[in-house]
Structure 1
Amino acid sequence: MAGQTTLAAEPDERSPLLVNQQAQPGSSATSTTSISKNSDTVVHVRESSSGDSNAPSYTDSVSTDTSLLRDIESEAATGQPSKDHASFGTLARVVLVLMIGVFVSNADGSLMLATHPVIASEFNDLESSSWLFAGFVLASAATQTMYGKLSDIYGRKNLILVSYIIFALGCALVGVGQSMFQVILGRVISGAGGSGMTALVSILISDLLPIRDVASWRAYINIAATTGRSLGGPAGGWLADVIGWRWSFIGQVPLMLIAVALCQIYLPSNAEQFKGGKRVEPDHSVSSWERLKSVDFLGSLLLALTLLTLLMPMEIGGSKVPWSSPIIPALFGVGVILFFFFLRTERRAIEPVVPLEIFSIRDANLSIFVQMTQLAAQLGLMFSVPLYFKASASVSNTEAGAHLFPAVAGNAIGGIIAGIYIKRTGRYRNLIILAAFSASLSYFSLLVSWHGHTNWFQSLYIAPGGFGSGLIQSAVFVSLQVVVKPHHMAPAISLLYLSGTCAMILGLACVSTVMHEFLKSGLESNLAALALDPADRAEIFQNALSNIEYISTLAGDVKTAVVRAYVDSLWWSHTVSLAFSSVALFASFFIGEKPLGKSEPLPQAEQLSEEES
């Protein structure tokens, strides 16, 4: 290219695809960035230096003439979209269509939170109710990182369609399952699809928007998510009361089929050709087959097996097998060995599924850690709320699910406020601190006031917890994007969602284990104090432990003893949420901040070329 000049500019929020041109220590690739004097185009070439002469190189051509916001203004004035940017109409269509899948997936999560006691009780297996969540999130963790890589090859649209179909198949199996195993298997399949539904939405938005605008557009997605969570709980509880819980899941299938049809019609087929709101010319010199061969399938498999073996003990310990069983340390040991092999594989991979250099960035690690601890705290709370009100107030499934509304409403408000604040100020660190503080205050309030006789005002104490989660998810997403290099953005986003999935497993396992252990000891001591016949006491103990609906059949001192055991055990579960949130608050003070500048054009290529000359 005539008149080329090599630049050594660090990326910032205004230049989403300009990467560091110097090879980093330990890096396996070198990069050069050239600017044409005769056109407003940056050409980024990345070549492998791993010693493999056959390793593919990638060339990206990126327009640098204006920001996406200026392009939207131009489109509004002329009625013609720019050739170099995603148009406003494209963005609006993408967001509206994706809202359907986001709505359904979040409704699915909240209706499961509302109905899991009913589902497990139908099979007389309340102790396994946590597997209705754990199966979903374990499958999500195993498949999360692959969606970003495969969507780079086969397109965001195609992978979104695949994830929707897999999710629908899982919902259908849950609805027709005739055993607890079949229902959990359906949740596993749904989780494999649900991981793509969440991660790919965020990747798409990051492709089509400059970083400062991401939070505000994600606020609209958050509204759909919150609406789904708000309606899912009460709707699932109402369906369980009226026609049975199965229709909560069967009813999702036609909605997902509608979403598939609309995505096929309206989603752009070339969304992956935008990076940070700029159009990227695709590299046709490397075939899809060659790119597929470079995908780190071995790393993905090792990562999935590592997560399964490390997280499995937290699910089976204390319920399926005792904590003293040799199976528990054996699984942890195998997990550590698999993790070692995973690290070796990633260091040698041409296109690692998890670029290890992300973990060398302090703020990236802190951002991921803060979201993990916050989500672990929040899911633990959401798991315990329906159980608390069914046990303490003998409410219907509908009302138990409705008690989740303050948290999901707070989540929506938090997401919207975060989007507006980041858009106007370009700052995010204070939001992360505020989020962790708000959540910690919420869980502390539950410890003080939720003792079995909770009035309507006290039931709102879960709202600040949801508010904190809404703030932190938007703010951490931007915090990660600021510090991660553009060509690592898709795996970084997948990693963020993967960490959230692992946090859900961790939070759920901790809360469920603590709750059931204290429930067992509470039932034993409370029933022993009533001087019941040993046979009757054993029957009450077993029924109360396996089926929460059994409480409504009790009366007098026996019912009081069982309710007190449930309330006390759930009090201890709130201490787990408070511990996680307090750790998040402490860590949030160490996150740095890179204020985001106004969306504005980069200096003209011709001026830069002349200065270098």
Structure 2
Amino acid sequence: MSNTNTSPSTQEIASNAAAASTDVIPNHALTHTHNNLSQSSITTITVITPLQKAGDLAKQNDTTTPVDPESGLPTAEVEKTSDEILAQVVVTLPLRQLAPAFLGVAMAMFMAAVDNSIVSTALPKIGTQFLASNKVELVFTCYVITFNAFQGLYGKMSNVFGRKPTVFFAIGIFCAGSILSGVSQSMNMFMVARALAGIGGGGIFSLSNIIIADLVSIRDRGKYQGFISAVFAISALVGPVMGGAFVDKVSWRWCFFIQIALAVVTVPTMAVMLKLPRPKGDIWSKIKAIDWAGTFFMAISAVFLLLPTNLGGNLYAWNSPLIITLYVLAIPSILMFLWVEAKHAENPIVPPYLWKNHNVVTLLSINVFMGMTFWSLMFYLPIYFQIIEHETATNAGLTMIPLEAGVFISSNIAGLLVSKYGKYRPYIFTGTGIAVVGIGLCLVLAETSSKVIHVVVLFVCGMGVGQLFPTLIVAIQASVERKDLATVSALHNFFRMTGSGFGVAINGALFQNNLNSGLETAGVPVDWANLARSSAQKIVEIPETYRGMVEEVYLDSMKTVFKATIPMAVMMFLLTFLIRHVRLNAKADPSTPEPERADVTTVAAADEGEKEVKEEVVEMEEEKQPATAVRGDKEELK
């Protein structure tokens, strides 16, 4: 009969290891057993694995490690450089941590997105009150120019200053622009206010995508981007209805004051719920790390490209000196931007090597045409329903429900499928294809007043475009390293909104030119024609003798917009064939615990801890066992 002998020191280590394994992960303890034939004894020693040690250290940190009040993370986590933070592997947070953080991001996105949709409904009334309906498209361009001008800056700022400070800065600028928009006394003042709001809105959109990438792994990102797209769809649904109600019942100014109320709820929520590391360093070194020259040339390039595109054929002739000068200035501005980024900037906002990435270039090109397509629909459909279908602003907003329902459904389905199967190309392909069909059906919509056809056409458009919201951002983020994630996320928004500016501007010029020539050809008296040009809502004041003629011209002009949007959608579809698939990393086994975010230090400490335990075990064995047994034990432990 054999006896079991365990020395007190060995027993103590074994019991401590067993306790640790019970608290952390019961199945990850390694039990080492060997027989000593000469002493007829069996010695059992439990060795703690790195995963157990990491769990013990994490538990200890929960109670003893100081917490940074700004980020909500242990102080050790915020005392890292931006490069160290970006070098860490992103894993999806546990749901209990992810849900409240995601809520803050969704609220910020809703606030910025509802602004875009609410303005589209209010613009006809604003243009009428300020007697400047021919400047309505210019309002949108002012917003888009500033939205785009600082996209690269926000990407770099979020790396240098941290995500939370940057997004709070963007929200502050956005709120200032919203307040000024609500108190505007002229169209010029309103356009300046919208330009200021665009600076903040651009940051909110970019930072939302960037923060999600910090919280969720690339494989799971599709479904969460689908949720954000659903938030966008909800805001696009609520915005027109809310805007219509304000315009019809209260005042269009409340379309902008409501943003302040939303910010009052959003900012505290993000401050409390969102816990992200803040890079260390003094404020001056962080400011010097920003590529200010690149930011400047990127901003003026956006101005010189978008401004003449909107002014041409509207307020100025296409061959006017101003339009030609602006376009000519755009060329050296773009060249200077590329030179600064390639030769001058130490930390460029857009590293030159990104332009050599096939997928990045292709996906950014698709974003341009997606912006042209989607925002042309969002901008002109409410105008169509108000002018051609004689609906109120509120009803025009309600008529957009099928489009937003299609976006809501398809974005969530596409996002879930991307996460499930790890593929995004099929859904980009089907999304662009269905979008082409939907845009083509808009010509049918313009030929009938049937509500059923309106619903079907808008729903098809939404089902197509909706698939692109989660898939395009996942595709472009998967195509680069994490250090470039913030940059490509910002460029993603830059090119999409640049496309939207070009789309609305080009269609606006076509609409206005067709309207002017149509009114002249129809023989509408000059006074009534000028009234129709100055304010679409004043058509009801035109005598019935000429009102029908004016409405026919408006309808024909709207058809021109739909016809011009079709080739934009077709280009988007054709570019899909150039996308190369980048494999998304496989989903982790749900039964295997994932390490916490930013745990590089903890794992390293765990490795040291395991090494120390092994050395103690070997020393005790050497005291008791023959040399042969010790050599075997060492090999087994190694």
Query: If the TM-score is normalised by the length of the shorter chain, which range does it land in?
Result: 0.7 to 0.9
Tell me if structure 2 keeps the 8 A contact 1:377–1:576: no
Q: Does 1:323 align with 2:318?
A: yes
Show CA shifts across 1:344-371 (max 9, x none).
1101222101112111011111111112
The structure 2 residue matched to 1:201, chosen from 205, 208, 214, is 208
Tell me if structure 2 keeps the 8 A contact 1:172–1:250: yes
Query: Secondary structure of the residue that 1:129 maps to in structure 2?
Result: helix
Once residues 561 and 86 of structure 2 are traced to their aligned partners in structure 1, the CA distance between those partners, rounded to angstroms, is 53
Once residues 265 and 482 of structure 1 are traced to their aligned partners in structure 2, the CA distance between those partners, rounded to angstroms, is 30
**Residue type of the partner of 2:145?**
L
The structure 2 residue matched to 1:571, chosen from 559, 563, 580, is 559
The structure 1 residue matched to 2:575, chosen from 587, 591, 608, is 587
Q: Does 1:466 align with 2:466?
A: no
Show CA shifts across 1:482-540 (max 9, x none).
21122111111111111111111111101111111111111111235xxxxxxxx1110
Q: Does 1:154 align with 2:161?
A: yes
Q: Does 1:346 align with 2:341?
A: yes
Query: Secondary structure of the residue that 2:220 maps to in structure 1?
Result: helix
Q: Does 1:336 align with 2:335?
A: no
The structure 1 residue matched to 2:531, chosen from 543, 548, 554, is 543
Query: Secondary structure of the residue that 2:587 maps to in structure 1?
Result: coil
2:365 alignment partner in structure 1? 369
1:18 alignment partner in structure 2? none
Tell me if structure 2 keeps the 8 A contact 1:363–1:591: yes
1:436 alignment partner in structure 2? 432
Once residues 199 and 535 of structure 2 are traced to their aligned partners in structure 1, the CA distance between those partners, rounded to angstroms, is 29
Show CA shifts across 1:59-115 (max 9, x none).
469667xx835xxxxxxxxxxxxxxxx443332111112222212222111111112
1:139 alignment partner in structure 2? 146
1:451 alignment partner in structure 2? 447
1:294 alignment partner in structure 2? 289
The structure 2 residue matched to 1:211, chosen from 210, 213, 218, is 218
Once residues 377 and 481 of structure 1 are traced to their aligned partners in structure 2, the CA distance between those partners, rounded to angstroms, is 23
1:15 alignment partner in structure 2? none
Tell me if structure 1 keeps the 8 A contact 2:141–2:307: no
1:68 alignment partner in structure 2? 91
TM-score w.r.t. structure 2 length? 0.77
Q: 1:345 to 1:459 in 2, by over 3 A?
A: same
1:226 positional shift: 1.5
242-251 or 255-264, which deviates more? 255-264
**Residue type of the partner of 1:246?**
R
2:307 alignment partner in structure 1? 312
Q: 1:321 to 1:88 in 2, by over 3 A?
A: same
Q: 1:539 to 1:61 in 2, by over 3 A?
A: closer
Show CA shifts across 1:311-362 (max 9, x none).
2110111122111112222111111111111111101222101112111011
1:414 alignment partner in structure 2? 410
1:303 positional shift: 0.7
1:459 positional shift: 4.2
1:480 alignment partner in structure 2? 476
Once residues 321 and 273 of structure 2 are traced to their aligned partners in structure 1, the CA distance between those partners, rounded to angstroms, is 54
Query: Secondary structure of the residue that 2:567 maps to in structure 1?
Result: helix
**Residue type of the partner of 1:587?**
L
Once residues 61 and 566 of structure 1 are traced to their aligned partners in structure 2, the CA distance between those partners, rounded to angstroms, is 53
1:148 positional shift: 1.8
Once residues 97 and 493 of structure 2 are traced to their aligned partners in structure 1, the CA distance between those partners, rounded to angstroms, is 25
Once residues 553 and 185 of structure 1 are traced to their aligned partners in structure 2, the CA distance between those partners, rounded to angstroms, is 31
Unaligned runs of 5+ in 1: 1-36, 42-55, 70-85, 273-281, 529-536
Once residues 117 and 353 of structure 1 are traced to their aligned partners in structure 2, the CA distance between those partners, rounded to angstroms, is 38
Query: Secondary structure of the residue that 1:211 maps to in structure 2?
Result: coil
1:555 positional shift: 4.4
Q: Does 1:165 align with 2:133?
A: no
Q: How does 1:382-401 map to 2 (within 5 A)?
A: 382-401=378-397
Q: 1:410 to 1:328 in 2, by over 3 A?
A: same
TM-score w.r.t. structure 1 length? 0.80
**Residue type of the partner of 1:159?**
T
Once residues 448 and 61 of structure 1 are traced to their aligned partners in structure 2, the CA distance between those partners, rounded to angstroms, is 50
**Residue type of the partner of 1:504?**
S
Q: 1:158 to 1:556 in 2, by over 3 A?
A: same
Once residues 61 and 228 of structure 1 are traced to their aligned partners in structure 2, the CA distance between those partners, rounded to angstroms, is 32
Once residues 286 and 224 of structure 2 are traced to their aligned partners in structure 1, the CA distance between those partners, rounded to angstroms, is 31
Once residues 486 and 103 of structure 1 are traced to their aligned partners in structure 2, the CA distance between those partners, rounded to angstroms, is 26
2:27 alignment partner in structure 1? none
Q: Does 1:495 align with 2:495?
A: no
1:180 positional shift: 0.5
1:429 positional shift: 0.5
1:288 positional shift: 4.7
Identity of aligned residues (%): 25
1:290 positional shift: 2.5
**Residue type of the partner of 1:68?**
V
Once residues 286 and 173 of structure 2 are traced to their aligned partners in structure 1, the CA distance between those partners, rounded to angstroms, is 24
Once residues 129 and 497 of structure 2 are traced to their aligned partners in structure 1, the CA distance between those partners, rounded to angstroms, is 27
328-337 or 297-306, which deviates more? 328-337
Q: 1:269 to 1:449 in 2, by over 3 A?
A: closer
Once residues 85 and 202 of structure 2 are traced to their aligned partners in structure 1, the CA distance between those partners, rounded to angstroms, is 28
**Residue type of the partner of 2:324?**
P
Tell me if structure 2 keeps the 8 A contact 1:166–1:190: yes
Unaligned runs of 5+ in 2: 1-48, 55-80, 595-602, 608-634
Choose 1 or 2 for highest CA Rg: 2
Q: 1:548 to 1:63 in 2, by over 3 A?
A: closer
1:150 positional shift: 1.2
Tell me if structure 2 keeps the 8 A contact 1:165–1:257: no
Once residues 408 and 261 of structure 1 are traced to their aligned partners in structure 2, the CA distance between those partners, rounded to angstroms, is 29
Q: Does 1:510 align with 2:494?
A: no
Show CA shifts across 1:196-252 (max 9, x none).
111001101111211011111122222222111101101111210111211111122
The structure 2 residue matched to 1:233, chosen from 221, 232, 240, is 240
Q: 1:115 to 1:59 in 2, by over 3 A?
A: closer
Tell me if structure 2 keeps the 8 A contact 1:115–1:237: yes
* Aligned pairs, number: 520
1:80 alignment partner in structure 2? none
**Residue type of the partner of 2:378?**
M
Show CA shifts across 1:384-417 (max 9, x none).
1112112222111111122222222211112101
Tell me if structure 2 keeps the 8 A contact 1:450–1:458: no
Tell me if structure 1 keeps the 8 A contact 2:178–2:193: yes
2:625 alignment partner in structure 1? none
Tell me if structure 1 keeps the 8 A contact 2:230–2:407: no
- The alignment yields a C-alpha RMSD, in angstroms, of 2.5
1:190 positional shift: 0.8
Q: 1:329 to 1:424 in 2, by over 3 A?
A: same
